[in-house]
Every structure is written in structure tokens, then in C-alpha cells.
Structure 1
């Protein structure tokens, strides 16, 4: 080898592999303590 150090990340662009998180959309969550009306309000606001 020539003894020249090359930064591997500078040699070529790096692309991140796609993952399931790329397709996921954040959605609200509800607890068992909430009433049906609370749940309807949460998801109506989210739509």
C-alpha cells in the first residue's frame, strides 16, 4: 500500500438502508382508563 490514509466515508456516499420506521406514521395512543368519548375525540382530532 502507498501509506496514504483515506477516510472510508469520503470515498463514496453512504446511503442508509430503508427500514420499517420509514413507513410508520405516529399515531395517538389511548389508555384503558379513557372513555369511548375520549377515544373518539382523540382520533377525530388526529384525522
Structure 2
């Protein structure tokens, strides 16, 4: 039983640590793309 419980306990922390990092990375990239897109549009309007 000890051998079966160890891998299960090892997998759960990995999921809990990886998922927030992936979600945070996606959110950061999303906001960065949105801000960059707004900046490009603003520069385009100014150039016009």
C-alpha cells in the first residue's frame, strides 16, 4: 500500500503546481497580447 500511495501523492502536487503556472502563463500572455494589440491599433490611428 505504501508504494501505491507514494506515486499518487507525488502526482497530485505536480498537478496543483503545474496547472496554476500554466493558467498564469496563459493569462500573462493574453494580457500582453491584448496590451500589444491596443498599442498597435493606437499607433495605427495616430499615423492616420
Shared fold by TM > 0.5?
no
Query: RCO greater where, 1 or 2, for CA within 8 Å and sep 6 or more?
Result: 1
| Alignment TM-score, normalising by the size of structure 2 | 0.25
